[in-house]
Amino acid sequence: MKKAAHNTIVLIPTFNESENILDLIAAVSRYPVDILIIDDNSPDGTARLVREEMKKRKNLHLLLRKKNRGRGAAGIAGFRKALERPYTCIIEMDADFSHNPDDIPRLISALDANADVVLGSRLVAGGKDMGRSLQRMLITRIANLYIRALLGIKAKDCNSGFRCFRREVLENIRLCSMTSTGPDIVQEVLYRCHKKGYRIREIPITFINRRKGESKLTIPMILKSYFRMIAIRFRQ
């Protein structure tokens, strides 16, 4: 990875996001941040597009993973790569525009104000969940109740993948011992932050269902990842 140009880095895991990635890079680059795309060798050529774009943008980096595809492993690899440079603020977001790049400054301000971890939340006052099926929204809400009860996390939107961390948090939650390889990484990381007593705050966001590209999440995958919460709770 090239030298850090900014204090903040935005990590974006990708798998087959060629329809979104260049627009997202442009939208995120309106803010003074570096960007690291963690691509699992997407067959649709996402990494190729990123590599071309890197010739034009000094703030853009690529981590290409060729083995063991998975949202969880990609997320952890991204955190570890980010920690190799002196970033003080590390943000993660999805590539499908469900997370609005224009919320990035609010996440950073909330972190600076009084938090160690800031979640972009659909489930606090002012937050919204747009364009998803009733079935998916219901699963998200029920899952949140279950996760909060099981893991003892106070945050309302434990499933949010749009979040911002102080560097020290990621240095102290033993990234190398995370057990989730799939989407359950989101809750495993949050649980470790909670156990360490970090200040977790939520700010309202409007989550918009993806318009381009395909979701990688199937209902069985979602249910399996919620089942994994039990292992996260009792095997840490």
Ligand X SMILES: Nc1nc2c(ncn2[C@@H]2O[C@H](COP(=O)(O)OP(=O)(O)OP(=O)(O)O)[C@@H](O)[C@H]2O)c(=O)[nH]1
The answer to whether 76 and 52 have CB atoms below 8 angstroms apart is no
- Closest CB 178 distance from ligand X, rounded Å: 15
- By rule CB under 6 A, what count of residues binds ligand X? 20
Which residue from 10, 28, 36, 38 is in contact with ligand X, where contact means CB under 6 A?
A: 38
103, interface contact from ligand X, Mg ion, none, CB < 5-8 Å by kind: none
CB of 143 to ligand X, least distance (A): 12
Tokens representing 181 are 């390889």
Phi, psi torsion values for 11, nearest 5 degrees: -100, 130
34 contact, one of ligand X, Mg ion, none, CB 5-8 Å limit per kind: none
Q: Which is nearer to Mg ion, 150 or 208 (CB)?
A: 208
The answer to whether 144 and 192 have CB atoms below 8 angstroms apart is no
Residue 176: CB minimum distance to ligand X, A: 18
Q: Is residue 98 part of the contact set for Mg ion (CB under 5 A)?
A: yes
**Interaction of residue 29 with Mg ion, rule CB under 5 A:** no
Q: Which does 183 bind (CB under 5 to 8 A by kind): ligand X, Mg ion, none?
A: ligand X
Backbone angles phi, psi at 211, to 5 degrees: -105, -30
User: Cβ distance 104 to 112 under 8 Å?
Assistant: no
Based on its alpha-carbon atoms, the radius of gyration of the chain, rounded to whole angstroms, reads 16
160 binds, among ligand X, Mg ion, none (CB under 5 to 8 A by kind): none
- Report the amino acid identity of residue 54: M
| Ranges within 168-227 binding ligand X (CB under 6 A) | 183, 210, 215-217
CB under 5 to 8 A by kind: which of Mg ion, ligand X, none does 71 bind? Answer: ligand X
Which of the ranges 54-62, 104-112, 148-156, 209-217 carries the binding residues for Mg ion, by CB under 5 A? 209-217
Q: Which is nearer to ligand X, 41 or 109 (CB)?
A: 41
Spatial neighbors of 181 by CB under 8 A, at least 6 apart, are 68, 70, 71, 72, 73
- In the region spanning residues 71 to 100, those forming contacts with ligand X, defined by CB under 6 A, are 71, 74, 94-96, 98
Note whether 15 binds ligand X by CB under 6 A: yes
Instruction: Point out which residues bind Mg ion (CB under 5 A).
Output: 94, 96, 98, 210
Instruction: Point out which residues bind ligand X (CB under 6 A).
Output: 13-15, 17, 38-40, 69-71, 74, 94-96, 98, 183, 210, 215-217
